Amino acid sequence: MKNNIRKLSESFQHAFRGLGLCIHGERNFRVHMTAAFYVTVFALLGGADASAAAALCLCFGLTMGAELMNTAIERLCDRQASGYDGFVRNAKDIAAAGVVVCAAACVAVGVCIFLFEGVLLCALAWLAAHLWAAALLLLSVPAALWFIFKYGRIQ
């Protein structure tokens, strides 16, 4: 029993290590994380209901999961290819297309929630009534851009 628990905890340690590697080394993953953060903020401010929140959580998980798989495929392909290989290029392009398909589906879900359900208008109205929060949100943008473009880069 103790050995099984240790194996389980080691599995989680490896998974979190992989997540850290992706956060540190993959700009596109940081783009997805940043987008998820701002979408969550606007969903909370706009009063999204539990169903909308669940749909958004699924979108975040699917898109970031696809990005993790894409990164794994790219790294394996780069490791195995000694030069240009058309099959490797195709595999990497197909994996990237999987991320784009997930992201496009998330945009569609976002349009349904934020535009058709009126969550965006409610969030904007709340921000207009609480200018301090709008200013704070605007002040977070440079930090978000730094996180996307500079975090993890070797100087």
What is the per-residue pLDDT for 155? 42
What is the per-residue pLDDT for 153? 66
Domain residues for the domain of 81 are 29-149
User: Total structural domains in the chain?
Assistant: 1
Residue 17 covered by a domain: no
Spatial distance between the Cα atoms of 60 and 117, rounded to a whole number of angstroms:
19
What is the per-residue pLDDT for 1? 63
Evaluate if residue 94 carries a pLDDT over 90: yes
Residue 139 covered by a domain: yes
Residue 79 covered by a domain: yes
Residue 127 covered by a domain: yes
Residue 91 covered by a domain: yes
What is the per-residue pLDDT for 145? 97
Residue 116 covered by a domain: yes
Q: How far is CA 82 from CA 73, 78, 88, 92, in A?
A: 16, 8, 10, 15
User: What CATH number does residue 70 fall under?
Assistant: 1.10.287.3610
What is the per-residue pLDDT for 119? 98
Q: pLDDT tens, 118-133?
A: 999 999 999 999 999 9
Q: pLDDT tens, 21-30?
A: 999 999 999 9
Residue 132 covered by a domain: yes
Q: pLDDT tens, 30-51?
A: 999 999 999 999 999 999 999 9
What is the per-residue pLDDT for 17? 96
pTM (2 d.p.): 0.89
Kindly report the length of the chain.
155
Main-chain phi, psi angles of 43, to 5 degrees: -65, -40
* Angle ∠(37,39,45) on CA atoms, nearest 5: 105
Mean pLDDT of the chain: 94
What is the per-residue pLDDT for 4? 72
Evaluate if residue 68 carries a pLDDT over 50: yes
Residue 45 covered by a domain: yes
